[in-house]
Structure 1
Amino acid sequence: MTAAQSTDAGKQRPRTWPAILLIVLAVIAIIAVIWRVDTVPRTDDAYAYADTIGVSPEVSGKIVTLAVRNNQAVKQGDLLFEIDPRPYQFALQRAQAALAQLDAQIPLTQRTVNAQVFSADAARSAVVRAQTSAKQTGDTLARMEPLIGKGYISADDLDRARTAYRAAQAELAAAQAQARQAEAGVSSVAALVAQRAVLTAEISTAQLNLEYASVRAPFDGRVVELRTSVGQFVSAQKPVFTLIDTRHWYVIANLRENELGNIRPGTRATVYLMSNTRIRFSGSVDSIGFGVDPQDGSGTANGLPSIQRSINWVHVAQRFPVKILVDHPDPEMFRIGTSAVAVLQPERRDNRDNRATANGAPS
């Protein structure tokens, strides 16, 4: 080897170190990324969310007062809108008048019933008297019939005894018929009392419907999707607009399935909204989704969330929604659907096991 060749080899050998250094740095970077993803899952596939209800009246009618406007914030108990109360006021007055009339009728009917009961008692007493008279005349006839053959009584006396017996039997039959008629005529106020209970229930229903004519906010919220005005006829159980429940705000973070191992309800998280990335909000995991649309062409259960995979021709980890409850949300910043970023701080399983052992719980 000549001196020139040695010099060239010495110049080429150091050039391999930059490449080796780059490879080592890349490996370290990959390891750091994997460790970071495993210990502090982070995703920008997230959005703000709050529960909503469709505000529906309990009764039908025409809107006479609309106390809110679209996107307005309301407090619990605030008047939202009022339905024409006059039909329900009239129904209440009618039921109250019917109850007053019935209350006046019940004492009169009770007096009539008392008279009917007295007549029935008198008729039963008349039956007893007729039975006694019939028995007495029967006994007299039985004593007289053996005496006619011995000449102790005349035929006329026997005929009069038989006539008296037949008359007593007829009087008994008439008294019994009159007693049955009197007992059948005895009425009762029980039906009127039952009718009173029905009217009382109708009054309660009318009062409730009159109360329902004024629709109030069930909780603190914000009115959205308001597309009506005064004069619109609304139907019961049909939503008029949507009310966002602003008492609780959430961030729905779609995390890869291989990032869920150490995440539990209560796991702390930090979130921020893309509308203002400078402000951070703390929160905790409320729940973790247990079902998504697999998107493989097979049938799915109704209502499962559909989360698009980013690369369809490569098998990638499925994402599941993690619901994060924000501790102190800014009501002016949070809007449903606002893009967000979520960073979770899951507790490692070995740390949980160590703490559980220290507390005396089984590991």
Structure 2
Amino acid sequence: MSQEIKTKGRLGRKLVPLLALTALGLGIVVIWRTDTAPRTDDAYVYADTVYVTPEVSGRIVELPVKDNQAVKKGDVLFQIDPRPFQATLDKAQASLVALDREIELTQRSVDAQKFGAAAATASIERARAAAKQATDTLSRIEPLLGTPYASAEQVDQARTAKLAADAQLNAASLDAQRATAGISGVDALVAKREVIRAEITLAKLNLEFATVRAPFDGIVINLKTTAGQFAAAGHPVFTLANTHRWYVVANFRETELSHIKPGETAQVYVLSDSAQRSQGVVESIGYGVFPDDGGAEAEGLPHVPRSINWVRVAQRFPVRILVDHPDPAFFRIGASAVAIMTPDTRSSNR
């Protein structure tokens, strides 16, 4: 009996160092694994979101979607009363038709004015020819004054004819200048036409904006209104989450960031169903957080609070992990998640 006890004692003394070495080895493995493949349960699910905001103001006449409803890209989210925008478009188009008629009539008047100016120019030529003939006649008769070939009366008549021809030439020149100066144009009307065309384009755009459509496949979030509500341009009606891209934003300690690189793979799951594991890839690592204790304020930075206020702990920084093929039944914005880095698979799986 004593021999058996002694044997067991010797065996126990041999196992103690072995167990200690095993425990030490496991501890080293755990520490190494924690350093090279960190994990965190300080994570949440996130998706890109947009505020669905109308670009024109008006009363909502149709609201075919409901809160938490899935929609497809191009689906009508809501319809603003299109009648005011249609009336504005009709008015602008009618103004364009009326202006085109005015341009046509004005162009006819301009053409008539141009014909009159051309006729006045032709009259100048006739008056110039008559003045030259009267001048030539006077030049021939004046030297013959006092001879049997030309009487004083004939010379006086020639001089009077020359003066009359010169006066007629001057009058024709003034008429031509007046006719030319009186020619109007359609340039101002054509410029006005471009203004109306721009108004038509804007009216068509506003009419199109009256129908608000989904810019991508998504889920309606925080819908708290109904048809009949007045929607103001620039003021959001509800939020739309993009269900094509889901992320897990995992807050890792700053001491672990050296082991996390963009492009590395990670395993993520949500707490509502920890058995459903999804693969993901690190898309980016945060470069700034809002400091809790001390330091200047930095608006716009993510706020990641430290869990223990009386002990100096490592700050956490958000790591954005893009999830591959997430299950829409479990992925919801803000859901608690767990992220585990799996860097060993980043090259083989991607």
Q: Deviations over 1:26-49 (max 9, x none)?
A: 654542332011121101111000
Cross-structure match for 1:256 = 253
CA 1:275–1:130 in structure 2 vs 1: closer, same or farther (change >3 Å)? same
Pick the aligned partner of 1:200 from 182, 194, 197. 197
Correspondent of 2:171 among 148, 171, 174: 174
Q: For 2:123 and 2:297, how far apart are their aligned partners in 1?
A: 85
Q: Does 1:215 align with 2:250?
A: no
What residue in structure 1 maps to residue 334 of structure 2?
337
For 1:8, the equivalent position in structure 2 comes to: none
Instruction: Determine which of 54, 57, 66 is the counterpart of 1:57.
Output: 54
- Is 2:94 the counterpart of 1:80? no
1:152/1:60 Cα in 2 relative to 1: closer, same or farther (>3 Å)? same
5+ long unaligned stretches in structure 2? 1-10
Aligned partner (choices 208, 215, 230) of residue 233 of structure 1: 230
Deviations 1:206-239 (A, max 9, x none): 2222222111111111111212222111111211
What letter corresponds to residue 131 of structure 1 in structure 2? Answer: R
CA contact (8 A) 1:262 1:347 kept: no
| 1:157 to 1:315, Cα distance in 2 relative to 1, 3 A | farther
CA contact (8 A) 2:37 2:259 kept: no
Equivalent residues in 2 for 1:125-136, closer than 5 Å: 125-136=122-133
| Contact 1:268–1:346 (CA under 8 A) maintained in structure 2 | yes
Query: In the TM superposition, what is the alpha-carbon distance from 1:243 to its structure 2 partner?
Result: 0.7
| Partner-residue secondary structure (3-state), 1:129 | helix
Q: How does 1:1-363 map to 2 (within 5 A)?
A: 27-145=24-142, 148=145, 153-347=150-344
- Alignment TM-score, normalising by the size of structure 2: 0.85
Q: Which runs of 5+ in 1 are unaligned?
A: 1-13, 356-363
Deviates more, 1:86-95 or 1:44-53: 86-95
Amino acid at match of 2:257: L
Q: Tell me which moved more, 253-262 or 118-127.
A: 253-262
What's the offset of the Cα at 1:282? 1.1
Give 1:339 deviation, angstroms: 0.9
CA displacement at 1:245 relative to structure 2: 0.9
Comparing 185-194 and 284-293, the one that deviates more: 185-194
Give SS of 2:241's match: strand
Aligned length: 339
For residues 142 and 22 of structure 2, the distance between their equivalents in structure 1, rounded to whole angstroms, comes to: 144
Distance, in Å, in 2 between the alignment partners of 1:286 and 1:172 is 90
Larger CA deviation: 222-231 vs 188-197: 188-197
Residue 152 (structure 1) shift: 6.5
- Equivalent residue letter for 1:118: F
**1:81 Cα deviation after fit:** 1.0
Distance in 1, Cα, partners of 2:243 & 2:211: 22
SS across alignment from 1:51: strand
SS of 1:175's partner is: helix
Q: Which whole-Å deviations, capped at 9, do the CAs of 1:232-262 have from their partners, x for residues lacking one?
A: 1111121111111111110001112232224
8 Å CA contact 1:270–1:280 kept in 2: the answer is yes
TM-score, normalization by structure 1: 0.82
Shift of 1:25: 6.4
Structure 1 Cα separation of the partners of residues 118 and 312 of structure 2: 96
Contact 1:263 1:347 in 2 (8 A): no
CA distance in 1, matches of 2:149, 2:157: 15
Q: What CA distance in whole angstroms lies between the structure 2 residues aligned with 1:215 and 1:297?
A: 46
> Given that residues 146 and 152 in structure 2 are in contact (C-alpha distance below 8 angstroms), is that contact kept between their aligned partners in structure 1?
no
Identity %: 57
2:334 is paired with a residue whose SS is coil
CA displacement at 1:22 relative to structure 2: 8.3
- Evaluate the alpha carbon distance shift between residue 316 and residue 144 of structure 1 in structure 2; reply closer, same or farther with a 3 A threshold: farther
Q: Is the 8 A contact 1:65 1:82 kept in 2?
A: yes
In structure 1, distance between residues paired with 2:312 and 2:156: 123
Please, what is the CA RMSD of the aligned residues?
3.0
Relative distance call for 1:307 and 1:18 in structure 2 (3 A) is farther
